[in-house]
Amino acid sequence: MANFVALTSLATPAVTLSILIIDDHPLMSAALAGVLCELRPRSACRVAHTGVAATQLLEHQNNFGLIVLDLVLPDIGGFELLPRLRLLCPDTPVMVVSASENAQDVRRAFAAGATGYVAKSASSATLLKAADLVFRGDIYLPPALDSALAPGIVIDEKPATELLTERQLDVLRLMCAGKSNKFIGQELGLAEKTVKGRVTAIFKSLGVESRTQALLKASELGLFSRTTTL
């Protein structure tokens, strides 16, 4: 029996967003797919019911725009699976959707590589809002835990330069050359909205709030010194 299935919102090959849902509960994964397929026009969801099935799928197809992960799986725990997902798909954001609303689980999920956390008790509207933020490169915390957890959340303990993916470094390099989001998108083959999401993620990783600050930070860290004059 196959460990993963495909669910699509429309019977058309023109897919604008591909989402991978990793959840062993058939009803829950189907419900998540039904909601998340509203995130973008002609979006599509694929479901893996085990951690092994998910990693096998990602080894052959790693072009997903968003991964949604349940922490409790029958073979690999979500906290163990998260770092593997980061290695297989470093540019793909991972949003945890879990029955647990325990603050420690939220901290562990972010420390392991998640960029969003939603309780399964949340409304469909909340799930869509969270998924949209995470997909665009932002971070989503449960509102009830946001103020209490934000100071203690560690997205990654690596230096800021190591937090940037190769794609983000490409965007930052063009930013430092004074290029607009539109130009960057055309140069890298990305939608302008995707570029904006990458820029937001870069700002967070570098701890800056503007392009000027990002340029100064890149100069301070010695980024692109061999290829770009800052």
Model pLDDT for residues 50-62, shown as the tens digit of each residue: 999 999 999 988 8
The residues spanned by each domain of the chain are 4-152, 160-221
- Which residues share a beta bridge with 44? 8, 18
- Report d(CA 137, CA 140) in Å as an integer: 10
CA–CA distance, 185 with 193 (Å, rounded to integer): 9
- Report the C-alpha gap between 127 and 119 in whole angstroms: 9
Highest mean pLDDT of the ranges 3-12, 36-45, 159-168: 36-45
Residue 185 has pLDDT above 60, yes or no: yes
pLDDT at 10: 35
CB 83 within 8 Å of CB 112: yes
Mean pLDDT across 111-137: 88
- What's the pLDDT score for residue 225? 46
Return the structure tokens found at 202.
Answer: 């870069």
User: What is the arithmetic mean of pLDDT over 40-47?
Assistant: 85
Give the per-residue pLDDT at 12: 40
Q: Quick one: average pLDDT of 143-163? A: 52
Confidence (pLDDT) at 117: 93
Q: What is the CATH number of domain 160-221?
A: 1.10.10.10
Taking the C-alpha atoms of residue 39 and residue 129, their distance in angstroms, rounded to an integer, is 9
| pLDDT of amino acid 146 | 54
Judge whether residue 90 has pLDDT over 70: yes
Say what the pLDDT of residue 155 is: 46
**Distance (Å, whole) CA 221 – CA 137:** 22
Token digits of residue 131: 């998924």
- State the pLDDT at residue 63: 86
Nearest CA among 113, 106, 136, 125 for reference residue 196 = 136
Where does the pLDDT of residue 104 fall: very low under 50, low under 70, confident under 90, or very high at 90 and above?
confident
Per-residue confidence band for 118, with pLDDT thresholds at 50, 70 and 90: very high
What is the CATH topology of the domain spanning 4-152? Rossmann fold (3.40.50)
pLDDT band at 219 (very low <50, low <70, confident <90, very high): confident
